[in-house]
């Protein structure tokens, strides 16, 4: 039985996240519908992670087993001819035993902040535009606090009991004029974790939080109430 793996990308603006939800447009729902049209039987589609409504992906990995066989290049062409313009398939291959949920080795998320009153319609759908002046140096000075093994429960929306200690391999903040880019790399993430980390960085930049507050959050105390807008978040890379 072939196990197909898809490398895809999507603009999350008009999606309610990845996971299928009743009466809502989701990436998994749209992709599953097209796959079932091609294969003419139900498809069990597994994604590498959940994404919130409005979040984008430059790279996303999914897989599905099927008893039918399609040449991978033919399937790539068929999918891209039928999918809407806000979803694109980059690569298709078969890999026995691969499960997108469990076998991905890590992910890199990018969050973009546009710190200006000016509006750029080419960036607006993919960033959080903040017109108030942020202290970039102050923000950059605490980014290193997020690296390493910490209890990120203060930065997460916990829907069920789960491990809240996450090892962040890399975290960086880069300024490119008015554009601020935050990147974070880890094997796995908690829900809202990246958006609340960015929210806390912004509040540090506004002078409304101190470094000691971040340290307290990272010790598992309290709850970070500041959640950055979804549209600024992009799953940039999936490590296989």
Q: What pLDDT, in 10s, does the model give residues 57-70?
A: 999 999 999 999 99
Whole-angstrom Cα distance, residue 33 to residue 143? 41
Q: Which residues contact 9 (CB under 8 A, 6 or more apart)?
A: 57, 58, 59, 60, 87, 88, 90
The percentage of residues in the chain with a pLDDT greater than 70, rounded to a whole number, is 99
Torsion of CA 204, 52, 235, 198, to 10 degrees: 0
CATH 3.30.70.580 fits 3-103, yes or no: yes
The model's pTM is 0.95
CATH code for the domain defined by 106-239:
3.30.70.660
Q: What is the pLDDT of residue 1?
A: 86
What are the structure tokens assigned to 24, written together?
A: 């809502």
d(CA 1, CA 16): 32
Residue 49: per-residue pLDDT: 95
Q: Domain segments of the chain: what residues?
A: 3-103, 106-239
Catalytic site includes residue 52: yes
DSSP H or E segment with residue 171: strand 165-176
Question: In a 10 Å sphere around its CB, with 0-12 CB exposed, 13-18 middle and 19+ buried, how is residue 144 labelled?
Answer: exposed
Per-residue pLDDT tens digits for 11-57? 999 999 999 999 999 999 999 999 999 999 999 999 999 999 999 99
To the nearest whole percent, how much of the chain has pLDDT over 90? 93
Q: Which of 52, 71, 86, 151 is catalytic?
A: 52
pLDDT digits (tens, 9 = 90+) for 115-152: 999 999 999 999 999 999 999 999 999 999 999 999 99
pLDDT for the residue 161: 55
Rounded mean pLDDT of 73-80? 98
Same topology for domains 3-103 and 106-239, yes or no?
Answer: yes
């Amino acid at each position: 039985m072939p196990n197909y793996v898809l490398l895809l990308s999507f603009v999350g603006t008009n999606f309610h996240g990845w996971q299928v939800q009743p009466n809502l447009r989701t990436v998994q729902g749209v992709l599953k519908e097209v796959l079932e049209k091609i294969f003419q039987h139900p498809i069990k589609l597994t994604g590498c992670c959940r994404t919130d409504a409005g979040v984008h992906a430059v790279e996303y990995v999914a897989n599905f087993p099927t008893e039918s066989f399609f040449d991978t290049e033919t399937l790539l062409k068929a999918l891209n001819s039928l999918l809407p313009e806000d979803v694109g398939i980059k690569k298709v291959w078969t890999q026995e035993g691969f499960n997108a949920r469990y076998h991905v080795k890590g992910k890199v998320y990018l969050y973009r902040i546009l710190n200006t009153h000016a509006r750029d319609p080419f960036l607006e759908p993919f960033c959080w535009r903040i017109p108030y002046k942020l202290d970039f140096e102050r923000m950059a000075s605490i980014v290193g606090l997020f690296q390493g093994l910490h209890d990120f429960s203060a930065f997460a929306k916990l829907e069920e009991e789960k491990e809240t200690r996450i090892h962040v391999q890399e975290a960086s903040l880069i300024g490119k004029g008015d554009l601020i880019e935050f990147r974070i790399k880890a094997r796995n993430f908690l829900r809202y974790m990246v958006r609340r980390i960015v929210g806390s960085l912004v509040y540090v930049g506004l002078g409304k939080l101190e470094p000691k507050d971040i340290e307290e959050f990272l010790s598992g105390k309290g709850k970070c109430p500041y959640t950055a807008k979804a549209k600024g978040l992009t799953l940039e890379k999936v490590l296989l």
